[in-house]
Amino acid sequence: MGEKFPEIQGGGSLILAWQVRNKKVLVIGGGEVAAGRILNLLNADAKVVLISPRDGLNSEVAHRIERKQVEYYDRKFEPSDLDDPAITMVLTAIDEPDASTQIWKLCKEKRIAANIADVPPECDFYFGSVHRDGPLQIMVSTNGNGPKMANIVRRRIAANLPPNIGDAIAKVGALRRKLRVVAPGTEEGPKRMQWMSKVCLKWSLEDLCEMEEQDMDELLQSYAPDQIPSLSQVRLGEEPGTWQFDGSFGWACVV
């Protein structure tokens, strides 16, 4: 009974990484806000369907259409646009409050997740301010209270990150994929996670960035005996029995 547990802080959002790769997302509107939404969706490999009169297109949105990066319809939204069962979510970015609310209500009837730009009560989810460096994505959300503040906080966080953190994470991801080939069984899961954690702790950020495919193959030989050599030991080809996890940590990561 003496244990202490985290206090509940209501009013937050459940922040998730929503996988929309190859899924259809409907964007209504073609202005500056829509341009940002479309970029986020394309970066997530979504199939974007855009509905907006051509005379309201932002130059960036027009560029996406010209490059055929989106499926485009030159007209205003129609209720029948939501009849496609493949639509995963709807994003509106139009300067018509009444029309936006109507779209929101239609989405609720069809149980389609929707985001109505600049109207927090009519959003199933929010867009935060995102920092991107290769596979690394960091999102800051103010839960609709202050989008500009989210941008300021995100910039401050990004300014304190190592400049090569994205490369290091990409290398760690490649090593994890190789490890799953070496030890594919589900029963190996806990050991794989612990071993990868030890590598992230012992190797410095610079070591991880410098790691090449041959280094990964050599390093994986230490998985079975559950030992962690340094990068220099890997390249010197020392025997696994001489490797020790000495507790000297470089940097910590959770991947």
Whether the Cβ atoms of residue 71 and residue 47 lie closer than 8 Å to each other: yes
What is the four-CA torsion angle of 100, 106, 111, 114, rounded to 10 degrees? -10
Which one of the listed residues 118, 124, 167, 207 is annotated catalytic?
118
Taking CA 155 as the corner, what is the angle to CA 150 and CA 160, rounded to the nearest 5 degrees? 130
Q: Would you call 118 a catalytic residue per the annotation?
A: yes
Q: Tokens 């929010």 belong to which residue?
A: 126
Q: Which residues of 172-207 are buried (b: 16+ CB within 10 A; e: fewer)?
A: beebeebbeeebeeeeeeeebeebbebbbbbbebeb
Q: Which among 251, 252, 234, 235 has a CA at the least distance from the CA of 243?
A: 234
Write phi, then psi, for 185 (nearest 5 degrees): -65, 145
End-to-end C-alpha distance for the chain, whole angstroms: 33
Residues with a known catalytic role:
118
